[in-house]
Structure 1
């Protein structure tokens, strides 16, 4: 039986350009549960039935009836918002939540606040990736530490991915032919598709993508690029078009904004390979690569948070290395954001702009896949098989049903416990909190090699909030010292202790614009992403 829904998602409006991954994920999750679990659809107190729900299946449930169902389902991580319905014996039912983005102050504090509420071990927060779970666990550890190390009961935190209806993305030769004709793709061109929400500040900076496509073309690859997705306003669409002109090296490219489901399906059918080089903490799982795998496309993706759990490097596609400054280099940014001096979008932008993606490795992946159609087909077939087996909603829903049964078993055998009631304010260093996202983190012993300075520091795609980078005078000394090659430690020695976090960020930002390459003091794991320079 389905759980009782504590709330339902709102409508998705593609035309507005405001559709986010959260909207798609939540709507997909509810729809999948209702399709794959038979029986009534229980709606909690005050929850109105959505038009797409079968009215014959809708079953209103009063507060005192939730225990008969056994599980109350939230569609976000705010499991605390549902606990007020659990009175008397806390073992009456479980409350289950679902993570999405974990990048903002409200989500951090919501997790820390679990220490003040009767969260129980038979409650659960479903984490859509192990990277996301690492953030939750760090927040819980910080809440424990803020309360003097006194641990409180924690909910279960299983990792269950989001899903897709893989049948809807099955390769269709006729659709492929039609859409390649519409897009004007020549017989000898390889169509590269980048699809997702278009937002530099809080989604993904396209600079690495554009530079990699240009470099792959210089190596002889015959590419055509389509950048498609959803934008908040026409200015963003225009900015993407301008950036393509500046950085894509003359590769034929178009931007298609606010596409509908039919166009999305057509673009996936027409493409030869899919690319997504996310660099934002806003991303936790990432549905787009899974949809591409379901469409039978090889995927070139950044080795970043949930992407590395969906795309198998060398099997379904290629993971491109990423790097961030180390823990300790962002405490000042965290304080400014948590204190209100820095708004969310500039905060997220500062972190994205200090997360370089290995352009050389991305270009190599694009060039090699463009030159080897058999490899593209083999990776695409492997990705489709993996998507059907692991990420089809039927498989994902089965894991949720198993979780509900497991929580019921815990309730039956556990004595009632209550969480402590001492509030905890959690201070966040984002580079520590999201340490599980990148391939590697900068270290003092890393060697820095001057690069070709591919992009000017005043390019709009490299803008950073004030206070992210060192003062101009110090930045000039850093650039002078870098000119002959040096280590990160050599640059740190030029700065006062309080300026060293900004020096780490300057190194990462300079690598992002291609003005230096980082040679890690320790080589990457053989199991990690390709390459070792950034």
Structure 2
């Protein structure tokens, strides 16, 4: 399906759909990348807004505006999803330098059509399944490009381990959004490689060399201009929350979770101490959302006890308008992340784009984002030493700890330097000129380093490099002739061939057992229709039944003769024969 975008801001993405392109593929695509699209990965609607969704929505905006090609392609499960992708990208491109021409769709049922493109962008590091699917076609036909979000879960750790065993190639990549994440992934692969060498009694370094894919470091991006301060929004928000213009408002924006994001106590204590040190009126805006009412109650009570002289304003950070107001109302931004769930952190970059000085922890992706003393302050963190967490992860693996329990307990033994946070808050509260200077430095950095106009070209450079590698790099794990492309997902009739008494053969005889009327009754029951779509149907099925009925009633007709006479797809014909026998419409017997 091809959706062409008419000119003009009032047009919709479904105004014109070309009639010559089937819904299961693309025609002459002009883009190098195909976006794997399921709306859950790209929407900011819903009660549980996650960082990966915020990043996905922002990525689509950036791609629509700054991709070299003006024809975008998605791989989506159905037409409705493809049209949603088309509408989203068309609208995003209206605020970019050039409008889009069209959006094209590749169905999940036609992965071979990816060979007409250059690369599949998959919004997760779990790309092993895509590599196995590609192996059934041509491993050089297209590249795979995933991206990291959280890496702490067992699901993602298993995905990282699969990099060494799945048929991933040197022309595939998983983008690491920070140097810390890259080091984590590389370290896990090294450990896993050593295990594989031991388990398989392989030569030294064989396990480490098993993973061929690229691990480039490219940060997430933002639309920097969309965070420009709005004086009217600032005035309205501060008036609504009784924040005087000469008061200093600190902002935390994001999920309000002590167990999965950032324990708020260091922030509360630091702001209370800074207020006491400066004597200045200080407010804290928490623009976010709580996982549970219990967590909301816990954080509210902790704030009341730890920073009683700092009014705390909790607003719904899932509301886009509220987020815009909060960015404008604040004087500084803070996020003292201490959780291994965090890998990059978009909000400090968004804060810089909004012209706010930042106070953040020296913690994984934040370390890449902030230049300490330039755009704000990086607060030291101390975690338990390697070796002190094996019992924690063991409890997670055994099921005694949930994922949330695992990351919460890990964070309990990560300390944030509260004195350093207090000093940073104090300086920014006391020195308006420092706030202005750091805020301007942040805006410059956000636009020059993290804007999508910079990041999308970096993605495209990576995709071009992967394309070059497809032409000359050595293929690993080439498919074996006559063997399944995925040994663990082989033909069930081969894997379980020992289960039935026998299998269908061409010399078996087919005779009618019941009239057509019985079949009509039976097919009305949904319990009998699981195979529809995988075998002959409609006129072809009736033709098959006609051929069987016209044969000698005693001798019948052989399966082989039916296949030769009908000229229909052999596999679908054999399935139809077995289905008819299952329903008692025909009888199968040896020659």
Q: 1:153, 1:419 within 8 Å by CA — same for their partners in 2?
A: no
Q: Does 1:113 align with 2:162?
A: yes
Superposition RMSD on alpha carbons, in Å?
A: 2.2
Q: TM-score, normalised by structure 2?
A: 0.68
Distance 1:28 1:198 in 2: 21
Aligned residue among 167, 175, 178 for 1:126: 175
- 2:187 pairs with 1:138: yes
> Are the counterparts in 2 of residues 117 and 419 from structure 1 also a CA contact under 8 Å?
no
The question of 1:157 aligning with 2:215 is answered: yes
Residue 82 in 1 paired to residue 115 in 2? no
Distance 2:219 2:486 in 1: 33
2:270 aligns with one of 212, 215, 233: 212
Which residue is equivalent to 1:198?
A: 256
1:179 aligns with 2:237: yes
Q: How many angstroms does 1:141 deviate by?
A: 0.5
SS of corresponding position for 1:293: helix
**Quick check: 1:17–1:233 contact (8 Å CA) kept in 2?**
no
Partner of 1:99: 148
Separation (CA, whole Å) in 1 of partners of 2:36 and 2:52: 17
CA–CA distance in 2 between the matches of 1:418 and 1:282?
Answer: 33
Give 2:524's aligned residue. none
Query: Could you tell me whether the CA contact under 8 Å between 2:218 and 2:455 is conserved in 1?
Result: yes
1:166 and 1:291 in contact (8 A); partners too: yes
Query: 1:301 aligns to what SS in structure 2?
Result: strand
Residue 39 of structure 2: SS of its match in structure 1?
Answer: coil
Name the CA shift for 1:238/1:396 in 2 (closer, same or farther; >3 Å): same
1:42 to 69, 73, 79: 73
Helix, strand or coil for the counterpart of 1:116?
coil
How far has the Cα of 1:45 moved from its partner? 6.5
Question: Are the counterparts in 2 of residues 240 and 255 from structure 1 also a CA contact under 8 Å?
Answer: no
Distance 2:311 2:111 in 1: 58
Partners of 1:154 and 1:11 in 2: CA distance: 27
Does 1:398 find its partner at 2:457?
Answer: yes
Once residues 468 and 105 of structure 2 are traced to their aligned partners in structure 1, the CA distance between those partners, rounded to angstroms, is 25
Corresponding residue for 1:485?
A: none
Q: 2:104 aligns with which of 32, 46, 59?
A: 59
User: Is the 1:111–1:136 Cα contact (8 Å) retained in structure 2?
Assistant: yes
Give the gaps of 5 or more residues in structure 1: 424-534
Q: Does 1:32 align with 2:77?
A: no
Give the C-alpha shift of residue 364 in structure 1: 0.6
Assess, with a 3 A threshold, how the Cα gap between structure 1 residues 109 and 12 changes in structure 2: closer, same or farther: closer
Q: Residues 404, 16 of structure 1: CA spacing in aligned structure 2 closer, same or farther, 3 A cutoff?
A: closer
Unaligned runs of 5+ in 2: 1-30, 91-100, 198-204, 480-484, 488-591
Match of 1:348 among 407, 426, 435: 407
What's the CA shift for 1:85?
Answer: 2.7
Contact 1:278-1:302 within 8 A present in 2 as well: yes
Q: TM-score normalized by structure 1? A: 0.75
What's the CA shift for 1:5? Answer: 2.4
Q: Equivalents in 2 of 1:422, 1:338: separation in Å?
A: 27
SS class of match (2:55):
helix
- 2:283 corresponds in structure 1 to 224
Q: Is the 8 A contact 1:9 1:27 kept in 2?
A: no
Deviations 1:107-165 (A, max 9, x none): 00111022221111110000111111111101111110111242303211111111111
What is the Cα deviation at residue 25 of structure 1? 0.9
In the alignment, which residue of structure 1 is the partner of 2:295?
Answer: 236
Q: Secondary structure at the match of 1:201?
A: coil
CA-CA distance at 1:51 after TM superposition: 2.0
**Partner Cα separation in structure 2 for residue 44 and residue 297 of structure 1:** 38
Change (3 A) 1:333 1:130: same
Residues 1:49 and 1:14: Cα distance change in structure 2 (over 3 Å)? closer
In structure 2, the partner of 1:413 is 472
Q: CA deviation at 1:58?
A: 2.5
Cα distance in structure 1, aligned partners of 2:474 and 2:216: 22
**1: CA distance, partners of 2:460 / 2:48:** 32
CA-CA distance at 1:338 after TM superposition:
1.8
What secondary structure sits across from 2:146 in the alignment? strand
Check the 8 A contact 1:89/1:416 in 2, yes or no: no
Q: Distance in 2 between matches of 1:353 and 1:160?
A: 30
Q: Secondary structure at the match of 2:395?
A: helix
Structure 1 residues 408, 4: closer, same or farther in 2, change over 3 A? same
Structure 1 residue 2: deviation in Å? Answer: 4.6
Identify the residue that residue 499 of structure 2 maps to in structure 1. none
Please, which moves more after superposition, 117-126 or 334-343? 334-343
**Cα drift, residue 228 of structure 1:** 1.5
Q: Evaluate the alpha carbon distance shift between residue 91 and residue 152 of structure 1 in structure 2; reply closer, same or farther with a 3 A threshold.
A: same
In the alignment, what sits opposite 2:362?
A: 303
SS in structure 2 opposite 1:224?
Answer: strand
Alpha-carbon distance between aligned partners in 1 of 2:329 and 2:263, rounded to the nearest angstrom: 24
Give 1:7 shift. Answer: 3.2
Contact 2:145 2:172 survives alignment (8 Å)? yes
The answer as to 2:324 corresponding to 1:324 is no
Structure 1: how far apart are the matches of 2:433 and 2:408?
39
Deviations 1:78-118 (A, max 9, x none): 11121113435422211100100001111001110222211
Q: Quickly say closer, same or farther: Cα 1:259–1:90, change in 2 above 3 A.
A: closer
Cα distance between partner residues in 2 of 1:242 and 1:393: 40
Q: Aligned pair in 2 of structure 1 residues 138, 337: CA closer, same or farther (>3 Å)?
A: same
Quick one: structure 1 residues 412 and 80, their matched pair in 2 at CA, closer, same or farther if it must change by over 3 Å? same
Cα 1:405–1:13 shift into 2, 3 Å: closer
Please, which moves more after superposition, 261-270 or 32-41?
Answer: 32-41
* Counterpart contact for 1:101–1:283, Cα < 8 Å: yes
